[in-house]
């Protein structure tokens, strides 16, 4: 640190501080590549390309298209009570406070200090050497008198201001603003993630409950049919082989029920964890008796314009904000290569006599700039600049990879929805066909044209097709959720 008498230069320094340039590169958002329409960038053929959806942009509350009051209520509770969302909101608040802390460096720092201390000076302190030359034989007496303990009083006013000649503070504020943007994007990402995970878990739970209800209905029907077959065997109209075949199928169906019940418990707990509730608190609300009618057709979806993806996807906005921060940090590092000037001032009162403390003669003051001129540091500052440049390059690559990943996820989601729609139609056809085949097999068995093994095979095929159809309905709803998660949900909050 070099202290200079630069009072004549103060006006010029102030003007330079107010108008000085900020070193380092300026951040300019790169254009985001996007196709003209949603069917252009697709890896699959025509058979996996579904409809482009309805016109317009998706709603921020896209889950409401299902018209499920329970799901709507759960989503509202998640927005209010989710621990993950509360954590993201606190991080956003921290970023805003940090920005205020950094911006405070623009202005001067002002403080008041005061104190009173009891002191004693050594009789052989370095500044007492003059006594040996001037006091002669009275040296010891004079040193003893000067070494008597005394109380020292002081109070003062201090002010200092670092001139932001090279934009270090401005770049720091710019980096803090980028942190706020990143935190806001991560807050939106948390909202989207929670809404998507909650909807997906909800549909998984309802699918499991439908499978449980289907299994119980089938068990009841198979049990009644087993009793009928047993009565026929007792009257000589059947064989024990028919009885054992029906009993085996019934036992297999009963064996599946405990696993489905376990999945139901796990599904309720997953939803409860997202909402921050204790186990069992949502049991009544999520009971199977309150499940909506799942036979209604799937709602349509809106994708908006492909160019809007960068605005809606929180991860892309967060990656761009990190790139912005990395760019600003280059300027912060480069500013350390140049001289720093700080203006300082002090005015106060100092006295060892309490009766005179505060009098005009006890005043003490100092004013003037100080210069910090880096000369040699073994390349530490320049290596820091190089490090920040490499970090900025890494952030740029991460941003590009995030955009590329987003388009792959969109393609996966749209293709998955289209193929599941096709599978659902096929399972519906199989369910209808197998139901008809089962009815014919029973009729032919009653007429003596088929043995009971044919009836069992037809029954097994029909039951399996019903379960697969229900599972496909659930997967289709999960694919619907995946589409909205891939396109970034709906309208971005605050934009």
Concatenated DSSP letters of 344-367: EEEEEEEES-TTTTTSGGGEEEEE
Two tokens, residue 286: 């999520």
Residue with tokens 């439908």: 210
Instruction: Evaluate whether residue 494 is within a structural domain.
Output: no
Two tokens, residue 179: 């942190």
One-character DSSP codes across 90-144:
HHHHHHHHHHHHHHGGGS-EEEEEEEEEEE---TT-GGGHHHHHHTGGGHHHHHH
- Distance, CA of 99 to CA of 168 (rounded, Å): 14
Q: What angle do CA 28, 32, 35 make, to 5 degrees?
A: 160
pLDDT attached to residue 183: 94
On the CB side of 273, CA atoms within 13 Å amount to: 8
How many Cβ atoms are within 10 Å of 5's Cβ, its own excluded? 8
How many Cβ atoms are within 10 Å of 83's Cβ, its own excluded? 12
Closest CA relative to residue 211, chosen from 431, 487, 466: 466
pLDDT attached to residue 461: 87
pLDDT attached to residue 394: 95
Checking DSSP bridges between strand 109-119 and strand 363-372, what pairing results, if any? Answer: unpaired
How many Cβ atoms are within 10 Å of 217's Cβ, its own excluded? 11
One-character DSSP codes across 177-224:
HHHHHHHHHHHHHHHHHHHHHHHHHHHHHHHHHHHHHHHHHHHHHHHH
Terminal C-alpha separation, the chain: 47
pLDDT attached to residue 50: 67
Does residue 183 contact residue 142 with C-beta atoms inside 8 Å?
Answer: no
- Distance, CA of 483 to CA of 411 (rounded, Å): 9
pLDDT attached to residue 240: 76
Does residue 319 contact residue 402 with C-beta atoms inside 8 Å?
Answer: yes
- Distance, CA of 374 to CA of 85 (rounded, Å): 46
Does residue 411 contact residue 48 with C-beta atoms inside 8 Å?
Answer: no
Two tokens, residue 325: 């921060």
Instruction: Evaluate whether residue 393 is within a structural domain.
Output: yes
Domains in the chain: how many in total? Answer: 1
Instruction: Evaluate whether residue 492 is within a structural domain.
Output: no
Per-residue pLDDT of the chain (495 residues; tens, 9 = 90+): 344 444 554 555 455 555 557 888 998 988 888 888 887 887 777 777 766 667 777 888 899 988 899 999 999 999 888 888 899 999 999 999 998 888 887 777 777 887 788 777 776 666 666 666 665 556 677 666 666 787 877 887 787 777 878 888 899 899 999 999 999 999 999 999 999 999 999 999 999 999 999 899 888 888 877 887 788 777 776 677 878 888 888 898 899 999 999 999 999 999 999 998 999 899 999 988 767 766 677 888 888 888 888 788 999 999 999 999 999 999 999 988 888 888 888 888 887 777 777 778 777 888 878 777 788 778 888 999 999 999 999 999 999 999 999 999 999 999 999 899 889 899 999 999 999 998 998 888 888 787 777 877 888 888 889 889 999 999 999 999 999 999 998 764 434
Instruction: Evaluate whether residue 324 is within a structural domain.
Output: yes
On the CB side of 242, CA atoms within 13 Å amount to: 21
Domain ranges, residue 121? 2-486
Instruction: Evaluate whether residue 476 is within a structural domain.
Output: yes
Q: Which CATH number is 449's domain given?
A: 1.20.1600.10
Instruction: Evaluate whether residue 493 is within a structural domain.
Output: no
Instruction: Evaluate whether residue 28 is within a structural domain.
Output: yes
């Amino acid at each position: 640190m070099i202290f200079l008498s630069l009072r004549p230069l103060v006006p010029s320094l102030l003007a330079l501080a107010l108008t000085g340039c900020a070193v380092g590169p300026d951040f300019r958002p790169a254009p985001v590549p996007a196709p003209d329409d949603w069917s252009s960038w697709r890896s699959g053929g025509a058979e996996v390309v579904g409809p482009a959806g309805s016109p317009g942009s998706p709603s921020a509350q896209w889950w409401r298209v299902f018209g499920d009051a329970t799901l709507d209520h759960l989503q509202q509770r998640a927005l209010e009570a989710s621990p993950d969302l509360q954590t993201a909101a606190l991080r956003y608040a921290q970023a805003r406070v940090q920005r205020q802390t950094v911006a405070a460096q623009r202005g001067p720092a002002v403080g008041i200090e005061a104190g009173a201390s009891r002191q004693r000076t050594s009789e052989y302190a370095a500044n007492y050497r003059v006594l040996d030359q001037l006091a002669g034989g009275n040296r010891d007496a004079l040193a003893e008198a000067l070494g008597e303990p005394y109380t020292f009083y002081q109070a003062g006013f201090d002010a200092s201001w670092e001139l932001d000649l090279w934009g270090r503070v401005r770049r720091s504020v710019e980096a803090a603003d980028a942190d706020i943007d990143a935190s806001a994007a991560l807050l939106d990402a948390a909202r989207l993630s929670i809404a998507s995970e909650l909807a997906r878990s909800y549909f998984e739970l309802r699918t499991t409950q439908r499978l449980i209800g289907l299994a119980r209905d089938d068990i009841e029907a198979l049990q009644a049919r087993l009793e009928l077959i047993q009565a026929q065997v007792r009257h000589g109209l059947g064989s024990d082989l028919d009885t054992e075949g029906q009993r085996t199928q019934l036992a297999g169906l009963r064996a599946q029920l405990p696993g489905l019940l376990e999945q139901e418990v796990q599904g309720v707990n997953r939803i409860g964890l997202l909402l921050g509730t204790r186990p069992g608190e949502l049991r009544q609300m999520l009971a199977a008796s309150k499940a909506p009618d799942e036979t209604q057709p799937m709602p349509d979806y809106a994708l908006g314009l492909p160019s809007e993806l960068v605005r809606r996807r929180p991860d892309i906005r967060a990656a761009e904000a990190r790139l912005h921060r990395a760019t600003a940090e280059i300027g912060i590092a480069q500013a350390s290569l140049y001289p720093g000037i700080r203006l300082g001032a002090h005015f106060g009162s100092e006295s060892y006599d309490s009766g005179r403390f505060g009098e005009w003669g006890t005043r003490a003051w100092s004013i003037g700039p100080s210069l910090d001129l880096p000369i040699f540091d073994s390349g530490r500052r320049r290596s820091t600049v190089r490090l920040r440049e490499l970090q900025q390059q890494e952030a740029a690559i991460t941003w590009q990879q995030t955009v590329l990943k987003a388009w792959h996820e969109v393609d996966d989601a749209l293709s998955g929805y289209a193929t599941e729609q096709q599978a659902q139609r096929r399972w519906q056809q199989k369910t209808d066909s197998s139901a008809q085949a089962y009815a014919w097999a029973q009729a032919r068995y009653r007429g003596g044209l088929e043995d009971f093994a044919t009836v069992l095979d037809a029954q097994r095929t029909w039951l399996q097709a019903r379960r697969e159809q229900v599972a496909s309905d659930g997967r289709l709803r999960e694919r619907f959720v995946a589409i909205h998660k891939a396109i970034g949900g709906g309208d971005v909050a605050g934009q």
